[in-house]
Amino acid sequence: MASTRVSLERATCIESLDQLITKLSTMSDRSSGISPGFDCIDNALPWNQIGVFPQYETLDSVNATRGIIPLPSPESALELFELIKFAWQTRLDYEACNTTESYCSCIGNWRPNQNILKQICNQVLEQVMAREASACLRAQPDITRMWNEAYSHDTCPLPDTMDCLYIDSLIRLLTNETYLDSYIQAALAATSTIDVSICYLFYTDPKAKYILLDLLPYVAARGVKVRVLFELAIIESQCLQMPLDTSSIDREAPLHLPEGSPPYARGAKQFRSATELVREFFNLTSGMNIEARYWFARDKACGYRIKNHGKCHIFDGNSKKNGKVIAGGSNVAPRPGSLDTDFVIQGEIAGMYSAYFDSMWTAMTPNDGGLAGSISENEEKKECEDEQLFITCNKGQWESVMEPDTITGHKSKILFLPSTPSSSGEDVILRCVLGAINSASESIYMCMGHFNVSEAVSQAFKQATDRGVKVYVISNSFHSCDLRTGQLDLIRSLKRMLTVAPKVQLFVATVKDGKVPPFLHSKYLVVDSRWACGGSWNMWMRSAFYEMEAEVFVQSESFAADLEGKFTRECEQFCIPVKTVDECNQFLPKGCAICEGFGPFFDV
């Protein structure tokens, strides 16, 4: 498939995509593949229940062999390329049409400097990833009412009732400018382990490439055990996009490293796809103290894929004093062109992250007790053949290249809470967030990168504003969000929210003074200027049924103040107030296959 390049030129894109489709359709064996692809419900391969996650099943074959990318079958790829062809043809028809009002914003509204056909391809794949989960929900009668009733006021714990679960730790908000320096500092100070959970991977981002290809191999060569958990659905999606022929590689921003950092060497290599980056990572780390696995699971009851959306980087997680975590909304690093909310934590809370990562890692261990070709924890560490890395290796005791340090941060009480969504619809994070909203007496600030407001949340906002609580909400729109699949549900839910709770002060990202807003990818909520939550969790229905998340709840007035300040700055710079239901219509997509709703929750 990689040898067939698909042109993104308007005049030849359909023809070249047809050539790829023809090549796939004429293959003698179209059913072979290690991964079943995005659709798993009818898959007949031998699925095994996961002991630590009894609501999920997995395939041992996905992680049975180290250093490979488990590709789906040509048959599944063929169907996806047919869907991409239809979406591309719709875009070409839009460009040729004199009257474009009948087309959805998912097709029509893109910035001129964007690679529109590639963007549309990505939207199609993102929608297909979740279609089985969505169809499962649509098949359940009256699910919308029953699900919202399950999150009634009396079932959502107030923060004070969970106070004994919080742990004293330090936390500091990171910016796009300070993220890499903090990451390098934590990595170089590590003495035993670094564990990384990745969802999305951006192959043109110099920070991400530096971390994967330069920094992690550097510390691994000094004896630090590195484990990386990739989300396989994302790797599969990026493999399927590999044939798209980008005529030029995106120009990268310069990378400025603090003194004492490993050089930006292998990461400076340019790649044409995330697949190339992952393969480079495997080739580089083969035989090193680095191990990678894929998260791959499906819902045991209904059979649809479960996606790991939790992102975290854990440094010496089992050290009560010096363990650190860098987490939030970013993946490997903050994405250029997006504004995120990431943080560094130090203290015993790192142990909770570490224990959860261990459970996910164990879940992806084949039942034979090990991985073919994997390196045992007790195996003698191999001498690194790379000369630059060899220089950094001690043959005696493995030591950190930096003294253990204490981060500058807010002394806080922190609770780490991961979620395990399934067809049951239980979202433990949402339940605790609703409890915090129900406890509010003064103010609520909320920004969500991906967002839809369930009826349960709308009613909680109404009750809060009726108590005199000021509720402020930031939302993306198609002007800022690079993922269109949730936009129809989003705007419909915002209209419902303003109908139920008209006193909520809503601000939506849009073009201001001719400037296109960045993607406001942050995910946080602040209550009464003293309680906050942040992490990978998005307040949308996918978090209850489809996407695993990792969240922290923080009791700290100073950390809450940092988030409120961020909210105010980004609101003033990128958003406009949207006060009425009718004003929401300027952002409402007409509806198409790309933005079809997830489940029936916001159908009209």
Q: What is the pLDDT of residues 426-443, one digit of tens each?
A: 999 999 999 999 999 999
Q: In terms of Cα–Cα distance, which of 349, 334, 367, 392 is closest to 176?
A: 334
Quick one: pLDDT band at residue 253, thresholds 50, 70, 90? low
Q: Are 180 and 207 in contact, with CB atoms under 8 Å apart?
A: yes
| Partners of residue 339 on adjacent β-strands | 520
Measured in degrees and rounded to the nearest 5, phi and psi for residue 270 equal: -100, 140
331 neighbors 202 (Cβ within 8 angstroms): yes
pLDDT exceeds 50 at position 387 = no
User: Which one has a higher pLDDT value, 302 or 244?
Assistant: 302
Looking at residue 420, the DSSP 8-state letter turns out to be -
Percentage of the chain exceeding pLDDT 90: 79
The helix or strand, by DSSP H or E, that contains position 23, with its residue range, turns out to be helix 13-25
pLDDT for position 479: 95
| Distance (Å, whole) CA 179 – CA 181 | 6
Please calculate the CA angle 301-418-147 and round it to the nearest 5 degrees: 50
Q: Give the three-class secondary structure for 342.
A: strand
pLDDT score of 31 = 74
**Dihedral angle at the C-alpha atoms of 521, 290, 234, 446, nearest 10 degrees?**
-20
Q: What is the DSSP letter of 549?
A: -
172 to 163, 417, 563, 570, 584: CA distances (angstroms): 21, 18, 11, 19, 35
For residues 125-146, give the mean pLDDT: 97
pLDDT of residue 250: 52
3-state SS of the chain: helix, strand, coil percent to 5?
35, 20, 45
Cβ contact 346:169 at 8 Å: yes
Q: Residues 312-343: pLDDT tens digits? A: 999 999 998 889 999 999 999 998 778 999 99
220 sits in which H/E element? helix 216-220
Residue 274 in tokens: 């995330």
Q: Is the pLDDT of residue 551 over 90?
A: yes
Question: Do the beta carbons of residue 278 and residue 236 sit within 8 Å?
Answer: no
pLDDT of residue 28: 79
CA 143 to CA 497: how far, in whole Å?
19
Instruction: For 14-112, list the strands marked E by DSSP.
Output: 48-49, 56-58
Give 259-286 pLDDT, tens digit per residue. 999 999 999 999 988 889 999 999 999 8
Q: Are domains 141-164+413-587 and 174-247+254-375+383-391 of this chain identical in fold?
A: yes
pLDDT band at 396 (very low <50, low <70, confident <90, very high): very low
CA-based nearest residue to 596, from 481, 492, 500, 519: 492
pLDDT for 367: 77
- Across 59-68, 370-379, 380-389, 552-561, the highest mean pLDDT is recorded for 552-561
pLDDT digits 0-9 by tens, 167-190? 999 999 999 999 999 999 999 999
Model confidence at 287, in pLDDT bands (50, 70, 90)? confident
Helices (H), 409-507: 428-439, 455-466, 487-500
Q: What is the mean predicted confidence (pLDDT) over 79-102? A: 93
Distances (CA, A) of 193 to 306, 343, 370, 384, 465: 27, 19, 19, 18, 47
The better pLDDT of the pair 570, 71 is held by 570
State the CB neighbour count (10 A cutoff) for residue 26: 9
Average pLDDT over residues 60-80: 91
DSSP output for 309-338: ---EEEESTT-TTT-EEEEES-SSSPPTTE
- Which burial class, exposed, middle or buried, applies to 370 when counting CB atoms under 10 A from its CB (0-12, 13-18, 19+)? exposed
pLDDT at residue 55 greater than cutoff 70: yes
Predicted TM-score (pTM) of the model is 0.92
Query: Considering only 267-281, 410-424, 531-545, which range has the smallest mean pLDDT?
Result: 267-281
Residue 369 has pLDDT above 50, yes or no: no
Over the stretch 454-502, which tens digit does the pLDDT of each residue have?
999 999 999 999 999 999 999 999 999 989 999 999 999 999 999 999 9
Dihedral angle computed from the Cα positions of residues 528, 531, 537 and 539, in that order, rounded to the nearest 10 degrees? -20
Residue 405 is predicted with a pLDDT of: 65
Write out pLDDT tens, residues 397-412. 344 445 456 778 899 9
Residue 241 DSSP label: T
547 vs 370, which has greater pLDDT? 547
For residue 298, which of 565, 471, 46 has the smallest C-alpha distance?
A: 46
List residues bridging with 195 in a β-sheet: 227, 314
List pLDDT tens digits, range 9-21: 889 999 999 999 9
CA–CA distances in Å: residue 580 to residues 61, 355, 476, 499, 576: 52, 46, 17, 8, 12
Q: Taking the domains of the chain in order of start, what are their residue ranges?
A: 6-44+69-137, 141-164+413-587, 174-247+254-375+383-391
CATH 3.30.870.10 fits 174-247+254-375+383-391, yes or no: yes
User: Is residue 383 scored above 80 in pLDDT?
Assistant: no
CATH 3.30.870.10 assigned to 141-164+413-587: yes
Higher pLDDT, 368 or 172: 172
- The confidence score (pLDDT) of residue 19 equals 93
The Cα angle at residue 538 between residues 533 and 541, in degrees rounded to 5: 130
* Residue 246 burial (CB count, 10 A): 14
